[in-house]
């Protein structure tokens, strides 16, 4: 087996793995192999790993119950304004409750008034018709009188024409026409005076009825103690209109409902003017005492 001396030369038997050179082989210089230089290399890129997101646990109530959405609020005129609309504040809720209580109390009152005055609706209607009849019979048409006078004048013209005409043979014809015109005119004048006399008698009868109905309505009004409405607004048709306004929820008192009806353009002034004229006309006929005034025909009750 081969070995090495101090100069690191091979001694001893050769290495079986390295055969000795044969005579026909030329010895070649053996080049010393330099040890390989270690070339620094960049560290291999490490793979980037991402942590999986942690599972989100959702409460079961999110799916089984209603979601409560929190929205910002802004205070405005007694209401809390939110994204979804206006929500009444606690102060407004209290005020609404007070108004509701007031409306309920007024509904009770108006129902009591309707129960008292409605059975007398016929008296109110008779009184209204009586007023219309008085206005009708207070004026007698003068047309018959005017036409009677005109026909009478024409009859005189025919008489004059017959007397001065050259056609004496036609005098009886002109006289007959003149007499016809005269009689027809006289008849029209007579109709006028007869009609006027009948109207006067009818007016006397209507005034008696008018006074009686006025006294009945005054008694009916005084029969309701502490009535919150003036007598001219106690017609059952007005009361039913006020009741419907209260039931609509837009009005909270009897006074507010009545003021709304009187607030239409010109309505209140017409009622005041009509009431003053009515009082002046009736007081002259009833010893200075004005009759009962009903304002139902001046209001919009539809």
pTM strictly above 0.85: no
Q: How many CA atoms does the CB half-sphere of 79 hold within 13 Å?
A: 10
Cβ-contact 291, 214 below 8 angstroms: yes
- What span, in angstroms and rounded, lies between the C-alpha atoms of 210 and 15? 163
Query: Nearest 5°: phi and psi at 70?
Result: -90, 120
If you average pLDDT over every residue of the chain, what do you get?
75
**Angle between helices 121-137 and 236-247 in degrees, nearest 10:** 130
Structure token pair of residue 35: 């040890």
Q: Which residue has the tokens 């091979």?
A: 10
Per-residue pLDDT tens digits for 46-57: 544 444 445 544
Banded pLDDT at 271 (limits 50, 70, 90): very high
pLDDT band of 191, cuts 50, 70, 90: confident
Give which of 270, 282, 277 is closest to 296, Cα–Cα: 270
Residue 126's closest CA among 224, 215, 193?
Answer: 215
How many residues are there in the chain? 302
pLDDT band at 234 (very low <50, low <70, confident <90, very high): very high
Residue 198 to residue 227: CA distance in whole angstroms: 41
Q: For the segment 274-285, what is each residue's pLDDT rounded down to a tens digit?
A: 999 998 888 877
Whether the Cβ atoms of residue 194 and residue 220 lie closer than 8 Å to each other = no
Q: What is the mean pLDDT of residues 163-181?
A: 72
**75-99 pLDDT tens trace:** 444 444 444 445 555 565 666 667 7
Cβ(271)–Cβ(251) under 8 Å?
no
Helix ranges restricted to H, 89-142: 90-117, 121-137
The predicted pLDDT at position 236 comes to: 95
- The answer for residues whose C-beta is within 8 angstroms of residue 231's C-beta and 6 or more apart is 217, 218, 221, 292, 293
């Amino acid at each position: 087996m081969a070995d090495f001396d101090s100069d690191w030369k091979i001694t001893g038997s050769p290495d079986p793995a390295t055969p000795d050179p044969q005579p026909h082989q030329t010895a070649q210089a053996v080049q010393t192999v330099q040890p390989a230089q270690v070339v620094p290399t960049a560290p291999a890129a490490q793979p980037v790993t991402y942590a999986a997101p942690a599972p989100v646990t959702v409460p079961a109530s999110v799916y089984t119950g209603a979601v409560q959405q929190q929205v910002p609020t802004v205070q405005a005129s007694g209401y809390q304004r939110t994204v979804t609309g206006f929500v009444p504040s606690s102060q407004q809720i209290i005020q609404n409750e007070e108004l509701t209580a007031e409306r309920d109390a007024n509904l009770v009152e108006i129902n009591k008034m309707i129960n008292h005055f409605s059975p007398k609706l016929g008296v109110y209607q008779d009184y209204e018709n009586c007023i219309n009849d008085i206005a009708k019979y207070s004026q007698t048409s003068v047309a018959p009188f005017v036409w009677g006078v005109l026909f009478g004048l024409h009859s005189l013209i025919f008489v004059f024409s017959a007397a001065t005409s050259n056609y004496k043979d036609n005098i009886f014809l002109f006289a007959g026409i003149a007499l016809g015109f005269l009689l027809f005119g006289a008849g029209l004048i007579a109709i006028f005076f007869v009609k006027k006399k009948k109207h006067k008698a009818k007016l006397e009868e209507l005034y008696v009825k008018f006074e009686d109905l006025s006294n009945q309505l005054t008694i009916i009004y005084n029969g309701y103690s502490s009535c919150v409405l003036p007598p001219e607004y106690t017609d059952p048709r007005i009361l039913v209109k006020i009741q419907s306004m209260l039931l609509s929820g837009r009005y909270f008192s009897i006074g507010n409902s009545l003021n709304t009806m009187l607030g239409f353009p010109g309505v209140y002034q017409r009622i005041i003017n009509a009431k003053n004229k009515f009082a002046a006309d009736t007081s002259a006929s009833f010893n200075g005492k004005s009759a009962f005034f009903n304002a139902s025909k001046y209001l919009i009750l539809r």
